[in-house]
Structures are given as structure tokens and as C-alpha cells.
Structure 1
Amino acid sequence: MKKLVLLLIVLVFACKNETKIIEKPIEAVKAKAKPTTKFILETLKSKGFKTFDYVDTKTKDTVIMQQYFIAFLKSGPIRNQNEEESTLLQEQHLAHLGKMYDLGYADISGPFGDDGDIRGITIYNVPTLKMADSLANSDPMVKSGRLQIEVHPWWAAKGFSLR
């Protein structure tokens, strides 16, 4: 009888240990699970973003479209800074854009390759035009008058990347 009781105790502890071993990988998989479309849409909506979604007929995946804001950086009325001032403004401009990216307010920025009036773009990942305009106008190049800003709402698929 003692042997039977001892065997039952060993089996109970063995089963508990197996359960723990199995639970940990399951928890790890759950922790790394991709957020659901519903969760993403609700999160964006709670932060004030405009969105819509549709089902891609080819892949059958749900695609979330989000409104971003694209800022066109255009030549400003004051472009007579000397070389030293221009260099300092460029450094401050790049630091500003880097800060916008680091804070999650801007997703991508870059200059155009020609020498036209539109010098570059920044895509702001913020919920309102007012916020995008405020962030774009806080750029030292814009404050100095060397650049001016024109901001437009722009829709893109959430999570898609450049190729």
C-alpha cells in the first residue's frame, strides 16, 4: 500500500512538472503572437487615427489603411544664409527629422533628387493635420524661412514597407 501511495505521489509531481514544461512554450508563443486586426484598429482609433480596412481579394488578408500626413518641404522665401548658417541649419534640420523619427512621429523623410521647388518630404504618423503641421513647422529650416511646409492627408496600408 505504501508503494502504491508513493507511486501516486511521484506521478502527481511528474504531471505537474510536465504541465509547467508545456505551459512555458505556449506562453512564449502567445507573447509573440501577431496582434489581431481588431486590436490594431481599436488601438489606432483610441489614439485618434482615421482608418478603414478591406480584404485583399488575392491574398484574402485584411489590409488596414491608415491616414498619415505627407509634408512637402518647399523652397522658402529666405534663402540668403551664408555657408556657415546654411550648414548649421542643415545639421539642425537633420537632428529635428531624426528626433521626429525616434519619437515615432515621422516614418520616413528624404530629399528629392532634382533641384526643384519641392526639396523633400516627411511622412508623419500622427492622428491630426494640426499635429503634423505643428511638428513640420517646428523644423529649424522652416523657422528660418529657408523652407516652407505644405501638408496633405495621405492614406497607406499599415505595416507595408518600401521595396
Structure 2
Amino acid sequence: MKKPLLLLTLICMVLITKAQNVNINYNKALADSLGADEYGMKPYVLVILKTGTTKIDDKKKLDSIFRGHLNNIVRLAQKGDLIVAGPLKKNDKTYRGIFILNFKTIDEAKPVLNTDPAVSSGVLDFELYQWYGSAALPMYLPFSEKIEKTKP
């Protein structure tokens, strides 16, 4: 009698422990549409933009390059290739900003970066890293549009 009761108790404990790890809010269709794995995560490419080797003294030309850089950011975001972009505060590493690109590999991301006028001109350079983050990250973009009072 003691053995069956002990076995039943152990089975109940295993089931309770397993049930505690299940997310009751899980939405399979949403997870699948975002490319999420079982943890709600997926691979991205993190780009650290840094000061490049090209120095341009002509202010009009430099302004034009950075206008093209901002336009390219918007284009890549609309296309779904760019998930996050933003400048960094001044620092001692010459890091200027970051991108999180919606690609699984660094090799997929490199050609996309060369479409940026600031990168192709050499004004900006970059470092690339594989990054594993929330698959829901792209969902913030539609909300950004609603809180952006002035466009860059």
C-alpha cells in the first residue's frame, strides 16, 4: 500500500512541476508568425556603429550623407530588416550607435549595412555580433510611429 501511494505522490509532484513551466498566455499562432522558439526568442544581428576612417570637412556633404543614413534606417525598418536603431552618447570607444537587424547570421547582415551611405562612404564603420533576443521585439515598431512627435 505504501509503494503505490508513494508512486502516486511522485507522479503528482512531477506533473505539478511540469505544469508550473507552461505559460498559460502562450499564443502559438503569434509565436510562429514572429519566428519564436519555445522560449519566445530568436536570433538577430547586433550592429555597433562606430566612427569610420573617412573624415569629411564639407558640412553640406556630411549632412547629405547623414540624411541618407536616416532615410536608410527608415527604409530598412519599413522592410522589416531593422528592428532597433539609435545613437549612443559620447564615449571613449568611438561607438556612435546600434542597430538590431532581423537576420539570423552575420553574413546575411553585411550586404544590408553597405546600403547605408554613412557606412559605404567610410564615415561610419561597424562591428557585428550574433544576438539572441525576444521574438516580440519587432512588435514595438508600430507603437514607435504613434509616439514620435517629430520625425528625424
TM-score by length of 2: 0.65
Q: Is 1:36 matched up with 2:28?
A: yes
Residue in 1 that maps onto 2:149: none
> Aligned AA for 2:95?
I
- Residues 137 and 149, structure 1, Cα contact 8 Å, conserved in 2: no
Residue in 2 that maps onto 1:19: none
CA distance in 2, matches of 1:39, 1:141: 35
CA apart distance, 1:158: 1.4
Match for residue 112 of structure 2 among 130, 135, 150: 135
| Aligned-pair Cα RMSD in Å | 2.5
Residue in 1 that maps onto 2:146: none
CA distance in 1, matches of 2:54, 2:64: 15
1:105 and 1:137, CA in 2 relative to 1: closer, same or farther beyond 3 A?
Answer: same
- Map residues 44-63 of structure 1 onto 2, 5 A cutoff: 44=35, 52-53=37-38, 63=39
CA distance in 1, matches of 2:81, 2:57: 29
Residue in 1 that maps onto 2:67: 91
Q: Is 1:77 matched up with 2:69?
A: no
> Aligned AA for 1:73?
L
Tell me the number of residue pairs that the alignment of Structure 1 and Structure 2 aligns. Answer: 113
> Aligned AA for 2:70?
L
CA distance in 2, matches of 1:96, 1:37: 31
CA distance in 2, matches of 1:150, 1:100: 18
Residue in 2 that maps onto 1:148: 125
> Aligned AA for 2:44?
Y
Larger Rg: 1 or 2? 1
Tell me the secondary structure at the aligned position of residue 87 of structure 1. helix
Q: Is 1:108 matched up with 2:100?
A: no
% identical aligned pairs: 23
TM-score by length of 1: 0.61
> Aligned AA for 2:62?
S
CA apart distance, 1:39: 6.2
Q: Map Cα deviations across residues 59-87 of structure 1 (whole Å, 9 max, x no partner).
A: xxxx3110100111110001234100110
CA apart distance, 1:118: 0.6
CA distance in 2, matches of 1:35, 1:52: 12
- Residues 75 and 118, structure 1, Cα contact 8 Å, conserved in 2: yes
1:73 and 1:39, CA in 2 relative to 1: closer, same or farther beyond 3 A?
Answer: closer
